[in-house]
Amino acid sequence: MTATGTDRVVLDGASLTPEAVVAVAREDATVTVADDAREAVRTSRERVESVLESGETVYGVTTGFGDLVDERIPPSDLEALQVNLLRSHAAGVGPELPREAVRAMLVARVNALVKGYSGVREAVVDALVDLLNAGVTPVVPAVGSLGASGDLAPLAHTSLVLVGEGEAVVDGEGLPGDEALATAGLDPLTLRAKEGLALINGTQLSVGVGALAVHDATRVVQSADVAGALTTEVTLGSTVPSHPAVSAVRPHPGQAASARNVRRCTAESGIVESHRNCDRVQDAYSLRCLPQVHGAVREAIDHLRGAVETELNSATDNPLLFAREDAPDRASGTGDAAVLSAGNFHGEPLALKLDYATAALTELAAISERRVDRLLNPSVQEPHLPPFLTEASGLRSGYMVAQYTAAAVLNECRATGRHATDSTPVSGNQEDHVSMSAGAALSLREVVEHVGTVVGIELLCGAQATEFLDGETAVAGDGESADDAASHGVGTAVAYETVREVVPRLDGDREVHVDIDRAATLVAAGLLVERVSEAVDLE
């Protein structure tokens, strides 16, 4: 089992979750390896040793790599081959990956190795665990992986630190690999046959970053439900489109979940009740179709989550080591060992879903931006709202340009992604179709952040629109006071209060970027979801 808490994650090769990756990557949870997994690692290594003793030619164990597969390596050079592999494949360029992405990659790689099909020694597993627990973070350039033969370049940069080469950061200071290890009280590792290849042949950048993105995207979708509920309320929109009867006759689970969130957030809302029998026939699509659009995005994220959870607990090495009884008769190997050369390192199962999630989240930004416009735009906003949500409009611009920013960020989202439909052959055309899954994961990460900003802008504007609601805006019903008629729902009240804790009411023009940053942080840090979830059962 993978045990998660505030400070500990146990890896067994079978049950690592995105939330556990977050605990290690961001919260520095201590990593340990389950005893059963250690036994699987030892058994797998014994199979490699039996192949070496037999003298058989086996790809990745006694041969070169990629297009050099036909080059037989003598036993005396097998250890040098492993270090040469790391050096030659550390060819990444571009900005450094953030610390959390590298740590996510490390914990995902350990979990893949402890499944027991990669043929490494326990010493290799322990060395990776030591990097995580000692806070040694390899310096890894972001660009270089094609997502086939795995994330070779990023993993090579990571693995060089194990042998005392490359670069790493310890306590905020960049150091050569050997100095970084020494600072943490760790010794360089001497690699043996197959181990260099096992360290770099996998999808761990793609899936590690994908795991972080899935976690963050889930919070963004929940935040968008809350923001949309607030906008529906302050624009005097209807919650009827979120009625369970509507979802029941079109039973997409994502639609139903977002609809429930809207209804729960607006429960007991005096604002909603005050105009329930008004003469408006229908709201604009950005309000009326919120459950359908948000729900479709939810399902895209859930689709990706399933792939990420599977990949986190998969063996993505090549070749893989099996018991002879579990492998085809023609597999390489000797005695109990069977060595299968295959393509589990190919990132396509992730790449397509990563791109899909990127496109889906872009749609979430699009509908949120349209609701921002309805809050601000004097051509479409409700009569009780002043142009751009400011008094003395003209003299003041209010949040006018916040919508510009939302539109600009949306454009960034629309220009990002679409990696999985590209492929450039490499390695002398031996690797003639690649997935680009790492690029897809990094793009998704960027888009998640962008969408959180747009949702933050909607929250900001929804809170400001609240300031123009009063007893005159909504007609109080029988036995209802004017204050009751202008009251928020259970969840939207918390959303408003949460925004107001970091952004005061806009009474005059000021630097809007500060307000946007603070509201976006409520989304990105999960603070909005945490607070609202204390009041309602947010899905």
What is the pairing mode between strands 167-170 and 93-96? unpaired
Q: Tell me, what CATH number does 73's domain have?
A: 1.10.275.10
**Helix (H) or strand (E) run with residue 167 in it:** strand 167-170
In a domain, 518, yes or no: yes
Q: What is the DSSP string of 82-118?
A: HHHHHHHH---EEEEPPHHHHHHHHHHHHHHHTTS-S
Say how far apart CA 358 and CA 369 lie, in whole Å.
17
59 is catalytic: yes
Residue finishing a domain among 202, 232, 262? 202
In a domain, 327, yes or no: no
Please write the tens of the pLDDT for every residue from 77-102.
Answer: 778 889 999 999 999 999 999 999 99
Specify the pLDDT at position 334: 65
Q: 299 vs 253, 291, 295, 421, 453, CA distance in Å?
A: 8, 12, 6, 21, 21
Please write the tens of the pLDDT for every residue from 146-166.
Answer: 999 889 999 999 999 999 999
Mean pLDDT, residues 512-520:
98
Same domain, residue pair 363 and 500? yes
Specify the pLDDT at position 68: 62
In a domain, 233, yes or no: yes
In a domain, 375, yes or no: yes
Q: Tell me, what CATH number does 423's domain have?
A: 1.20.200.10
Same domain, residue pair 374 and 404? yes
Same domain, residue pair 35 and 138? yes
In a domain, 315, yes or no: no
- Total count of domains within the chain: 2
Same domain, residue pair 389 and 472? yes
Give the pLDDT band of residue 377 (cuts 50, 70, 90).
very high
Annotated catalytic residue within 59, 117, 356, 404: 59
Domain that holds residue 396: 212-306+350-535
Same domain, residue pair 65 and 179? yes
Rg (CA), the chain: 27
Residue that has been written with the tokens 């509908």 in this structure = 367
Specify the pLDDT at position 424: 83
Residue finishing a domain among 202, 224, 252? 202
Greater model confidence, 434 or 205: 205
Ramachandran bin of 59, using left for φ above 0, alpha for ψ from -120 to 50, beta for the remaining angles: beta
In a domain, 41, yes or no: yes
In a domain, 175, yes or no: yes
Same domain, residue pair 190 and 243? no
Same domain, residue pair 258 and 360? yes
Specify the pLDDT at position 475: 42
Same domain, residue pair 414 and 522? yes
Give the pLDDT band of residue 236 (cuts 50, 70, 90).
very high
CB 107 within 8 A of CB 21: yes
Same domain, residue pair 110 and 243? no
CB 461 within 8 A of CB 389: yes
Residue finishing a domain among 151, 170, 202? 202
Same domain, residue pair 256 and 183? no
In a domain, 198, yes or no: yes
